[in-house]
Structures are given as structure tokens and as C-alpha cells.
Chains A and B, each alone.
Chain A
Amino acid sequence: MLRIEDLHKSFDDFKAVNGAHLTVEKGQLVAVIGPNGAGKTTLFNLITGQLQPDNGKILLNDENISKLPPHVICRKGVARSFQIANVFPRLSVFRNVQVSVLSQQKLSNKLFQPAARLVVEETNRILESVGLFEKKMDVAGSLSHGDKRILEIAIALGNEPDLLILDEPTAGMSPEETTTTMALIQRLAREQGLTILFCEHDMEVVFGTAQSIMVIQQGSTIVQGKPQVVRQNREVQQAYLGDE
């Protein structure tokens, strides 16, 4: 579904992504791991068009999307969440999700129809499935950090994506929140047949959930494969897991 070949991106002299490779098959739950500053977020920003690569290919269903702006990539079925909670702070939880559902259904430009009556069912269904239905009238800015992160995922779901990209979905969460969030992500993948690409710090989380793991260090891919393969890879052990 998604294939990345030899991707490069520099900021001035700093090579943030320097030869990244990644394959995501349909229906897979794929994790990207790597130490701080390894280029995980940059990689995701390149995929979803927030940044443009200097070199290399990003193929979505065999179409090169590396030069497209974010909103076009989104319409091709790629939705994402961000590492810092990136919601619409002054809007209600309901409207946060509704904005993306409206966009998905190409209703964003309707001028004289009350938005309050549009796509209500779809939006409520998403809120229910992530467990935010009770808080739907709250102002998004007033939510707890954990709930904001969940809301982010809900916004991304509003686009009915084929590929969902989550940038450290559990960053800053308590252990309990992490467990419930990962369970939520796995359930979404199962129930809605989503393909999910995420990056994560927590080793346990990654090896417990992902079907395929890509290890990135200093912008370059070291290896990608099944969890047990990655665990046994010597280079990975040295670079990231530490010698044991």
C-alpha cells in the first residue's frame, strides 16, 4: 500500500532523513522506532505532505505522492495525528471531529445550511467508537492531555482513511492511558480494517502490538521486519536496544 524508497530530507546542513525505506502492506499495523531525533516525525511529515522531500519516492498504491500538498494527500486516503496534541482548541469536541467528516464528504463549502444538522450521525459514531461521546460538548482546549490525543485520532478517523498515521499516539500518557490507547488502536485496526503506521518510544508497546517494525537511526533505515527478526538484528541491538 505504502512504499518509501531512499527518502532524503535536509534542513540546512542537518540530514534529518537520509535514506529511509519503508513498506506498509494493507491491513498491517506497522511501527517505526528509533532514538530521539532519529527522523521519525520528519518521515511522517514527508509522507503526509507537511514537508517535501529533497530526494526519493513515496508511493501510495504505486502513485508517487511526494510532491503533493497535505490536503490532496489526505483526500487520497491518508489521515494522521500529530505528536503534540493538535486539535481545534476553541471548538467543541463534536465540532472538532465534524470538521473532518464535513471535509471528507466534500461539504466544507456549503454556505447556508446549518452545520449543526449535518453529518451528526457519522460524527457521533466516531466519538462513540473512541469513547469521547460523553464529552462531545466540551471545548477541546479544556480536555485532559490523554483525551486530546484520543480526539486527535478521532479527527483523523473522520476522513475515513485507508492508511492512518499516528505520530507517537501515547506520548505523555500515563501507563494506564497508554494501555487503553493501544488497545483502542488495535481494536480500530481490527474492526475497521485500517492500515496503521505509527511511531513510538515505548519498546514494550511496539513489540507487543506491531506486525512489522522499521528501525530508523540518524535518518537511515537499519532494518524492517517482523518483531522477532528486528529483535535479533545485531545492528539494532547495538544501535538502539543496547548491548546486553
Chain B
Amino acid sequence: MELLEQFVLGDLDAFETLFHQFQHEVYGWILRIVRDPAATEDLTVETFWRIYRSHGRFDPAHSFGAWARRIATNAALDHLRRVRTLRAEVALPTDFSQGTPPNPALQRETREQVLQCFRQLPAKLQAVATLALIEEQSYDEIAAALGISPGAVKLRVFRAVRQLRKSLTRAGVQA
């Protein structure tokens, strides 16, 4: 029996094989969205837990990777929503940089303002803006991961840029 068919039946060995095939891809995708390695580990575990829990709903005729990425995106969005709410309540730091140094040409204060304005965007706008503008993923790829059309992705990017520009202007950053 094929690996995916075994997985659909709930076979734990098949799931483990799939996990080891896809954990890097899922981890990398979540990291791109949430940009926090510690949270990404937890979310990768959460994603595979959700995947196993829904094994019966997976259609083996489709791509497991695309399905996993979609579940990972939902888990990442849930996390961004939680963090956004928490940040509004307890003023968490906005910088979850994961080791890559920021551009030194950008002044620290400006960077802080950009981070703060960006983190104020609704989770779904943050996610598309991160993937499209920072990570330069294609609209088609983002659309597949979010389960929406490429046109809807374009619209979300447009709204994210517009909201970001407004908040940056209010914060005194020329954008």
C-alpha cells in the first residue's frame, strides 16, 4: 500500500516517514511567517499534530506538502493573532529577529517604528506582506497556502501596504 494511503488509515509509521520528509519544509515555511525560531518549533509540532488528527480527511491523490503547508499557515496565523492580542495587552517587544542582522543603514529608531507598525497589522495582512514583500514568494504559492485566490492575495498585499504607509506616516517615518 502507498505511504499516503497508509497515512490516511492512521498508520503511525507512515506518519513518521512523512514527518521526516516534510518537517524541514514546514518549519521553514512557518519561520518565514512568524520569524521567531522558538515559536516556530512549537508551531511545527502543533502543525503535525493537526495533520495527524485530520489524517482521515486527506485525499492521497493530492500533494501532502501543499496540504501540510496550508495547515502550517493556519497554525502560524493563529499564533500571530495570539501574539498581536497579547502585545496589545502587555506591550511585548516587537522584535523577534532570528539571528539575521538588520540592515545597518536603517537607523535603529526607524527600524523600531517599522517593526511596531508592521506588528499592528491584522494577522492575515502581516502574513501575506511577510511572504510577498519580504520573502518574495509568488502570489500563487501564497494563495495555495492560504486557500484563497491569487487576486485575493494581491488585494491583501495592497491593503497591508496602504495600512502600513498610513501608520508609518503617523509615526513620522517617510514611506
Is the A/B pair a real complex?
no
| Interface residues, chain B, with chain A CB atoms under 8 Å away | none
